[in-house]
Structure 1
């Protein structure tokens, strides 16, 4: 597998420590989950997003959503079925799964709901006031000296 040299990015950048691991994971691909369950990521409004995961057959108590260190993890594990069902064909997948999503800075999970076999996870990006752009006034040092004298 080829690797990419990210040294030029780090010459003029500060605080992008996770960039290398994110790119490395993206280039390697998400081979662990094999595309199950399918999902959508949608920008619903400015700074608002929805992740929708198809989880047909799962109940709320069989799903787990956690956020740790900017990684959203969704797990599903079916409860043991102690009925003696005899399937002639079983096409609805009910196997356990784990999906991980890397979240950008200041992206927070605000809510989640299960409706019609779809798990909707709502996210919002809230930039703190201290990080928003602001104007800095420039003082004229010569005028300040004239007013003092």
Structure 2
């Protein structure tokens, strides 16, 4: 009976250790880093100067938690040295200065994914992920 409990406890620790070691975004020892690239579009038009951030909730070290790049005028972005793992993606639109009395035509509109959520899985090969967004009013509470 005691031997069975000890065996069960050891098995539990082994499973926990395997899960800990096999989770992603951990840095060296968790796969070689790769480049990630894509194009950010809003309503099928390139989003110039967008700030693209990949965030890994499974990262154990702060330096492997997030990776950020700025898209070019054509909406293309490249993140370098990204470790394999699951990532949530955030996109921030560059805001141009507006002269007093002038209001932007897109003021009050948020950027929303065209389909699903902004998530991707980075593997061990270079990765391409195009980010398709649309403009819309923020949801009302």
Q: TM-score, normalised by structure 1?
A: 0.29
Q: TM-score, normalised by structure 2?
A: 0.30
